[in-house]
Structure 1
Amino acid sequence: MDILRDKKLIIGSMLSIAILFAVFLTTGYLGLPFYKVDRGDNLGCFIMLPVPECYSGRKITYLGKDAVGFDLKEETEVYAPFNGAFFEDETLYEDEETTIVADRFVRARFGILDTSSFIVFTGDHFPNVRGGGSVTAGETVAITNPAGDIIHETSSSNFVIYAEDYDLASLFR
């Protein structure tokens, strides 16, 4: 009889451990704060884009910088991430011998007042505010063009965001 009771104890213990393991695994994939699992490129919602597009970002490297690429549909609104200034970049590339100037709106940046920090986005768009002007967090500053070219071939992104002297991850919720 003692052997039968010991088998029940062992089976019960193994079942308890399996249930505990399943609970931890489930909470990790649900993203509960006390247990984190790397879930790939699920970065959260990017505050500069509307739902559901805000969740579609993929980590990429762009111009040697850590960036996030999106494949946005036409006429997606782009919002200001914070109070600051909005600038359209006409010069796409410049060195001692070559200067490439944009023939349409493809790159813009947000500056944080009184800092050297910028959030830069690259992608065909129509500006909604005047370049060099101040913007308020959440304000629509641009709308993506219907014929947006692929900016990053590997990820098929037509809209790319990167930061200069700023933590890009802080813009995901």
Structure 2
Amino acid sequence: MSSNKSLLQKINTRIAMSAVGAQIMARTMHHLDRLVLRMSNGRATATTLLAGLQVLNLTTIGTKSGQPRTVPLLAIPFADNQLVIIASNWGQQKNPAWYYNIVAHPEVTVTRDGRSQTYLARETDSDERAACWQAALETYPGYAAYERRTSRRIPVILLTPAKN
């Protein structure tokens, strides 16, 4: 964990890494993130305030509904203006719904710092997955705990800016 985090942020990160904390956070954080985003006019999220982690809003097209679906996720910067997102679902046994949405519709919209951009999403594999996973662990070590708690292979998604 980064040393520039406050004590409260470090404590909250440790709680989120625990099995019980992850279960609670899986059911509450996206609601809190959306509330804080609304209250701050898109400048902050609960995750940023509580854990010192940068969050993006990922908008996908629902696989079944065909409707836009937006979810706040941890933003992991990567090479060439790319971003990595991890379908950890807090270490639960099922992939998050947004994962299936991007498999069906890989063109997504990412909103960060009040700006939106179109990206193409794809699941990584092999050496690329290892490099993206390492970047994720450097950003948030809790992913390792989530990986230990689940029997599934956690999908690692690379977002590449679309050429407009």
Give the TM-score of the pair, scaled to structure 1: 0.29
Which has the greater radius of gyration? 1
> Of Structure 1 and Structure 2, which has the larger fraction of its residues in helix?
2
If the length of structure 2 is used for normalisation, what is the TM-score? Answer: 0.30
